[in-house]
Structure 1
Amino acid sequence: MTDYRNYNPRKTALDAARDLLTKAACAAMDAGALPKTDLPDFIVEIPADTKNGDVAANLAMVGARAFHKAPRQIAEAVVAALDLNGSLFARVEIAGPGFINFFLGDGWFTSVLRAACAGQDYGRTDAGKGKKYNVEFVSANPTGPMHMGNARGGALGDCLAACLDWAGYDVTREFYINDAGNQIQKFGKSLAIRYLQLYKGEEACPLPEECYQGADIIERAKEFAAVHGDSYVNADFEELKEAITADALPKNIAGLQRDLGKYRIEYDVWFHESTLHESGAVNDIVQLLLDKGACYKAEDGAIMYKSAQYSSKYGVANKKKTDDGTEEEAKDEVLVRANGIPTYFAADIAYHYNKLAVRGFDKAIDVWGADHHGHVARMKGAMDAIGLDGDRLDVVLMQMVNLIRDGKPVRMSKRTGKAITLTDLLDDVPIDSARFFFNQRESSSTLDFDLDLAVKNDSDNPVYYVQYAHARICSILKKLEQEGVTFRGSDTVDASVLTDPAEQSLLRLIAAFPAEIAAAAEKYDPARITRYTIDVASAFHRFYGACRILGAEDAVQQARIALCLGVRDVLRNALTMFKINVPESM
């Protein structure tokens, strides 16, 4: 059996066309048909409409200045020197003022068919071989339940990491636990006051407005009281705060792990912010910035970072929004407060230094909510300031989610009376639907999540529609087996017999699968894959309606079975990659 591992049919065709054109242009220059010069950069692409060719090149168009000839004359000289014998292409044509269009031959289509049904992880490529990427996503504060943004970020980050993995990158999924700093101090204070309220009442111990107000804080305080009773009621407040935080924080972190595990997300690394402080990494990064002249000491003893100087490179004006929404000139930022306590920004710089410099990732990819857009340039600039390349940090900004039920926005949880959390969602919506729906649109687009549609078991639900296509193929193959029809193997099929437009369309879609995964990885857009699976499912249903398998002539029947197997494996691989179930019957 031919080894089709890491086979990318589209890239293979594009590379072959580029190689043929380069050789033909050089041959034309050697023959005197074109003047000798350096070959200009040119584009070889697969056009949206393949009626006029499967691969198109603009060599003649961009070569007009270099060759001092009209594009049409250049194209004629290059095409005259082309040798298609033994190539992937059946013929070549010149279109319009000089576009060179290639038409793929039966051999290429047969290779696609055989690769897709060969059972060798079709879709995987080695495009990212040798590149080590870190994808950090969700990273919710361990001070309360995860919200809807975390639900989208979880699906987006996990599926992006999957695309990178299938495209050949060495990927690490990471969760950054913010277990230090102001939010943990506030967490401890909230817990401590709720604990005291259990014994002294709310009037005696009012909870300040800036503290966490959720019911989960009360629950953690009660758990602490169940073990320790009133032994901390008269203790020093800082002692109480430290003890109750030490009790509650691990429980919250375990809760994050449990809920994300239910969401089918497993991380390779759970990185604690506290380790950066305990190891001295935060102080080291501040000193490094001082040594490089990116920071200075203010009169009150605070250490200030020259933010505007470094962030401006990344396409933002030296302005920032104030709390009231107006803009003012960006000022130098506090990295270490006058009391000697580092800011969150200092820890964030140390954390990204750890990823890029200490652990040596080629890229650090962070999935953030769109409300953090102003922090992107700051962080990339900070990487430059510490001697790293800010372009090694990429941030995927994610827009908000609107939950829709009965055509109207849903803002509150019926169970808690508060904003809907990840666990609320997963109680109401199948996990398959959640993971698919959250990856149906680019991260930069606001997403309307239709709760009614997500629970429907019919073709209106896109994930059901794709799963049904897979199940339908499994049923077809089983029926063929019962009828005594045997598939003789992928190496025996010949795609030249697949001449129906529905067959051709489906075959071209199958050919695109590895390229779609590679593009999803390169562009950080896993939504390409969900949209692609819908297209494949639609094309399969059209094919099955137009082309019979049982009773077809033998060679045609074998090729159509191979086509069914290829579609089945493409859908299975795509859904499995996104940790979505792939039923064989529905």
Structure 2
Amino acid sequence: MTPETLAEKVLSATREAFEALGLDATVLPAQTAVERPRDPKHGDYASNIALQTAKKAGTNPRALAEKVSELLAAADGVAKVDIAGPGFLNITLDAAAAAGIAGKIVAAGAAYGTNNSMEGVYANLEFVSANPTGPIHAGGTRWAALGDALARIMRASGAKLTTEYYVNDAGAQIDHFAASLLARAKGEPTPENGYVGAYIDEIAADVLKERPDALQSEDPYEVFKTAGLDLMLKDIQATLADFGTHFDVFFSEKGMHDRGEVENAVQRLSDLGHVYEADGAVWLRTTEFGDDKDRVLKNSKGAWTYFASDCAYYLDKRERGFAKLIFMLGADHHGYVGRMQAISRAFGDEPGTMEILIGQFVNLLNNGEPVRLSKRAGTIITLNDVVEAVGVDAARYALTRYSADSTIDLDIELWTKHGNENPVYYVQYAHARTSAVLRNAAERGVDKGESYDAALLTHERESDLLKALAEFPAVVASAAELREPHRVARYAEELAGAYHRFQHDCRVLPFPDEEATDLNRARLWVVDATRTVLANALALLGVSAPERM
């Protein structure tokens, strides 16, 4: 029995109790949940539904809990229900009901953990979006892992989601980038505000390979700008692909300008009465929508600002039909939250249409000491540097293991260790152990069969592991709702721990001179279920599940 199934039984018993006691059932929630108690002595699951609803119904919580417990105890799969305190329900499942989850997991396979908690949500998730003027830095690397994991988790929870990378291919930074390439091609010093690093030399050389006549062309600057941006973007896309991060859309800022979308967006805001002119500039009255000051759309020189592009980009997404817009921004963009939310409200959208997630910095360490700057980028640590130091799996796991609002010290020594202190190794090793057990069983001719006797799985370690396995769909749904992929990583570690303890205390395969028993076969189902859930959890994080280590 899954926690969700039990929660439905609890709610059904509560409805029956309300009817039996003559209470108003309209105060009952549409759905409820059960939780694992901290102390296993208090049962398998607990519910506070009597405490939640008794006051609204005008009755005593304890009296309501007694009636609910009487009805719930008669439900299939429930062994007993105890009442604690003023009305908590402590529920114990019978062994077969609790252990039946293993069969359901094996049958579901890769689909186990998926849920419909976000069904009907049509969302756009934008992340990374580093300027195409250099390699992705460590902060962008964090979003490459977190954003991709969040996309996987939201889709697993039923959301219809499009992932997007905003290509800032217009503005002063692009001009500086092009000027830097041209200067390197000519063998001249880097211009003021220009970009440095070996990658500038590489791209300049690649432009000349593609266009040997570039320096003799009518407009060398434009050639290096266009070709250089294309090469840099391809480099970024290849780096992301190697990291396992996928984007459905690469959206061009320049293309948006070329289509006249900035003018259209400002006109829309003007028609809504939110635009005014002052000091030779065009402004959006964002203070009416909670911003700390009004923002300039067009400066006194007649040029559109980045903020005007932000307005157009927001409107473009909404006109593409997205009902939920999620932006993942770095810590240096904290000041953008107020102005971005003001854009949403200025266009007349409801609060919650836009979500802005702010991520903190990543420090790459080695034996506790900061790692030197990138050999290729010169001024920053890049995604490729992180991968080269610890590998794709460890990098993705390390970057998704912590809440986005916490700074990460990613220590190379820890994340490359082949030991239990390395979290990704600990989880992957658990999966490899499950694979080894099933492989050994096959080699010895021990078949788990088409079904198993769930009532045999009564050992404390079996019970702990089965409960952990049952929680996975709820963990995924929670991670999606709260936009917190680290919940899946931490769950995977807890599950790995439960499995390691189970295998230590519960012999799965018989000794070589013994025949396999029904208990051996039942435990093989548990092992197979664990392998499935570990693989599914790692897949949501974009991390591999090795069968041998």
TM-score (norm. length: structure 1): 0.86
1:338 and 2:300 correspond? yes
Contact 2:9 2:75 in 1 (8 A): no
Q: Which runs of 5+ in 1 are unaligned?
A: 1-7, 30-34, 313-317, 319-330
Contact 1:380 1:391 in 2 (8 A): no
> In the alignment, what sits opposite 1:178?
168
Q: Which runs of 5+ in 2 are unaligned?
A: none
1:108 and 2:91 correspond? no
1:562 and 2:525 correspond? yes
The alpha-carbon distance between structure 1 residues 165 and 400, as it changes in their structure 2 partners (threshold 3 A), is same
Q: Secondary structure at the match of 2:357?
A: strand
> In the alignment, what sits opposite 2:191?
207
> In the alignment, what sits opposite 2:41?
51
The alpha-carbon distance between structure 1 residues 138 and 67, as it changes in their structure 2 partners (threshold 3 A), is closer
Cα deviation for residue 161 of structure 1 reads: 0.6
Q: Secondary structure at the match of 2:400?
A: coil
> In the alignment, what sits opposite 1:21?
14
Matches of 1:234 and 1:548 in 2, distance apart?
75
> In the alignment, what sits opposite 1:540?
499
Matches of 1:187 and 1:103 in 2, distance apart?
65
408-417 or 454-463, which deviates more: 408-417
Q: Secondary structure at the match of 1:250?
A: helix
The alpha-carbon distance between structure 1 residues 44 and 22, as it changes in their structure 2 partners (threshold 3 A), is farther
1:130 and 2:144 correspond? no
Contact 2:125 2:326 in 1 (8 A): yes
> In the alignment, what sits opposite 2:204?
221
Matches of 2:306 and 2:473 in 1, distance apart?
41
1:388 and 2:349 correspond? yes
Q: Secondary structure at the match of 1:134?
A: strand
262-271 or 500-509, which deviates more: 262-271
Matches of 2:211 and 2:96 in 1, distance apart?
75
Q: Secondary structure at the match of 2:448?
A: coil
Cα deviation for residue 398 of structure 1 reads: 0.8
Deviation string 1:119-144 (CA, Å, 9 cap, x unpaired) is 53211222222322222111110011
Matches of 2:376 and 2:306 in 1, distance apart?
34
Matches of 2:11 and 2:225 in 1, distance apart?
62
Deviation string 1:18-56 (CA, Å, 9 cap, x unpaired) is 222122122211xxxxx6575365964314424323343
Cα deviation for residue 162 of structure 1 reads: 0.8
Q: Secondary structure at the match of 2:352?
A: helix
Contact 2:142 2:362 in 1 (8 A): yes
Cα deviation for residue 518 of structure 1 reads: 1.1
> In the alignment, what sits opposite 2:85?
96
> In the alignment, what sits opposite 1:39?
27
TM-score (norm. length: structure 2): 0.92
Contact 1:37 1:66 in 2 (8 A): no
* Residues 464-543 of structure 1 mapped to structure 2, 5 A cutoff: 464-489=425-450, 492-543=451-502
* Residues 235-274 of structure 1 mapped to structure 2, 5 A cutoff: 239-274=219-254
284-293 or 57-66, which deviates more: 57-66
Contact 1:174 1:268 in 2 (8 A): yes
> In the alignment, what sits opposite 2:282?
303
> In the alignment, what sits opposite 2:144?
154
Matches of 2:376 and 2:196 in 1, distance apart?
17
Matches of 2:341 and 2:94 in 1, distance apart?
47
Deviation string 1:485-540 (CA, Å, 9 cap, x unpaired) is 11112xx2232211111110000010011111111111111111111111111111
Contact 2:214 2:223 in 1 (8 A): no
The alpha-carbon distance between structure 1 residues 21 and 505, as it changes in their structure 2 partners (threshold 3 A), is same
Quick one: which amino acid aligns to residue 338 of structure 1?
A: S
Q: Secondary structure at the match of 1:117?
A: helix
Matches of 1:156 and 1:530 in 2, distance apart?
11
504-513 or 380-389, which deviates more: 380-389
Percent identical:
37
Quick one: which amino acid aligns to residue 353 of structure 1?
A: L
> In the alignment, what sits opposite 1:4?
none
Matches of 1:60 and 1:72 in 2, distance apart?
7
Q: Secondary structure at the match of 1:251?
A: helix
* Residues 274-285 of structure 1 mapped to structure 2, 5 A cutoff: 274-285=254-265
Deviation string 1:81-101 (CA, Å, 9 cap, x unpaired) is x25444442222211122233
Quick one: which amino acid aligns to residue 91 of structure 1?
A: K
Contact 1:413 1:419 in 2 (8 A): yes
Matches of 1:240 and 1:118 in 2, distance apart?
62
The alpha-carbon distance between structure 1 residues 585 and 407, as it changes in their structure 2 partners (threshold 3 A), is same
Structure 1 vs Structure 2 CA RMSD: 2.5
Contact 2:17 2:64 in 1 (8 A): no
1:145 and 2:138 correspond? no
Matches of 1:234 and 1:160 in 2, distance apart?
46
Deviation string 1:371-402 (CA, Å, 9 cap, x unpaired) is 21111121122111112234121122111011
> In the alignment, what sits opposite 2:331?
370
Deviation string 1:90-116 (CA, Å, 9 cap, x unpaired) is 222211122233323345324311111
Contact 1:364 1:393 in 2 (8 A): yes
1:421 and 2:392 correspond? no
The alpha-carbon distance between structure 1 residues 116 and 231, as it changes in their structure 2 partners (threshold 3 A), is closer
The alpha-carbon distance between structure 1 residues 454 and 79, as it changes in their structure 2 partners (threshold 3 A), is closer
Matches of 2:528 and 2:64 in 1, distance apart?
44
Deviation string 1:150-181 (CA, Å, 9 cap, x unpaired) is 11110001111111121122222211111112
The alpha-carbon distance between structure 1 residues 257 and 226, as it changes in their structure 2 partners (threshold 3 A), is closer
Deviation string 1:439-468 (CA, Å, 9 cap, x unpaired) is 111111111101112222333322122122
How many pairs were matched up? 542
The alpha-carbon distance between structure 1 residues 172 and 36, as it changes in their structure 2 partners (threshold 3 A), is closer
Deviation string 1:231-281 (CA, Å, 9 cap, x unpaired) is 74796xxx4332220121100010001111111112111111112111111
249-258 or 523-532, which deviates more: 523-532
Contact 1:194 1:207 in 2 (8 A): no
The alpha-carbon distance between structure 1 residues 66 and 230, as it changes in their structure 2 partners (threshold 3 A), is closer
The alpha-carbon distance between structure 1 residues 119 and 377, as it changes in their structure 2 partners (threshold 3 A), is same
Cα deviation for residue 61 of structure 1 reads: 2.8
The alpha-carbon distance between structure 1 residues 102 and 207, as it changes in their structure 2 partners (threshold 3 A), is same
